[in-house]
Amino acid sequence: MAFFIPACIVLALAISMANAQMCNTYVAANISGGFTQRQFVDFSGVTPGGNVGSFLSSHGIYISDYPIASTPIPRTFTPRNVAFGSGSLDMKVSAYTGGSVQSAEIVTEDTFKYASVRTVLKSSGVPGVCEGNFFYLNDNQETDWEILTSTTLTSSPYVPAGIWASNQALVPGNPSTHVTVPFTFDPSQGYHEYRIDWVAEATTFYIDGVQKARLTTNVPTQAGSWIWNSWSSGDPYWSAGPPVTDSITHIRSIDVYKGYTSVRSGTICNI
């Protein structure tokens, strides 16, 4: 069976092979300045059963292990739910049988202010899960791409269909800034690149290299980590669920450009 590979994914692999050791400044369209560091994690060659914790640690990422008292159902991020698949990092939300929803999360060890982060993933087709790819310091310093698997293509009575681009409120109690972007494809049927460019002026959201949203209010102003997770709390106004069968989110690669500089110098690479 043949699969379509978006041009942006091919570009990421080309940069990795040809330019990773020679670029001094990585620059992107609509961003003044650029980035001086690249953190690229390729899961396309992994196989089930490998030591995922050691592999991620060697790339500056750790696996979360903690509970959250979410409502109406609590959830727990457990290392048991992060594993290698065939050419992917697999993040599982376990079929719910009671108690806390067993979920999955990975986090960058490094913290940074401003970045361009591109994640190639295939969404789960199992309803009742939130798949997050986001910057986070605290609840008032956060920007998100989030897929809600119950409402990817069809709205619920409470949640519109699509993928959510959000900046959480910088001031507690104020409203967030968000846009719901309709999908033009089924995200569970193939790999696509989900990208956030975060600089002082805006957070800009892309799918497969095409801009889908640009938010200029509530833009985060402090350094923090990047997080990828998959979870459910049974909230009908958000994740819905919890899932009745195991949900697997597949990540093919993670590409983080960081170390923002206002001055472009040395060998410049377009990303």
119 located within any domain: yes
2 located within any domain: no
1 located within any domain: no
3 pLDDT exceeds 60? Answer: no
DSSP for residue 11: H
Token pair recorded at residue 227? 């997080």
Once rounded to an integer, what is the mean pLDDT over residues 189-197? Answer: 99
Once rounded to an integer, what is the mean pLDDT over residues 202-224? Answer: 99
194 pLDDT exceeds 50? Answer: yes
Peptide bond before residue 242 is cis, with ω within 30 degrees of 0 = yes
CATH of the domain at 52: 2.60.120.200
260 located within any domain: yes
Domain of 236, in residue numbers: 7-270
42 located within any domain: yes
Alpha helices in 48-198 (DSSP H): 52-58
Scored b (16 or more CB within 10 A) or e, 186-225 reads: ebbeebbbbbbbbbeebbbbbbbeeebbebeebbbeeebb
Cα-based angle 75, 77, 78 (whole degrees, multiple of 5) = 125
Per-residue pLDDT tens digits for 75-132: 999 999 999 999 999 999 999 999 999 999 999 999 999 999 999 999 999 999 999 9
Predicted pLDDT of residue 11: 54
Kind and range of the H or E element at 251? strand 247-261
Give dist(CA 61, CA 14) in Å, integer.
23
Predicted pLDDT of residue 2: 42
Does the reported pTM lie above 0.85? yes
Residue 18 pLDDT grade (very low, low, confident, very high; cuts 50, 70, 90): very low
245 located within any domain: yes
Residue 5 pLDDT grade (very low, low, confident, very high; cuts 50, 70, 90): low
| Residue 252 near residue 194 (C-beta atoms within 8 A) | no
Cα-based angle 141, 146, 148 (whole degrees, multiple of 5) = 140
Q: Which residue has the tokens 């104020």?
A: 174
Domain count for the chain, please give it: 1
Per-residue pLDDT tens digits for 131-186: 999 999 999 999 999 999 999 999 999 999 999 999 999 999 999 999 999 999 99
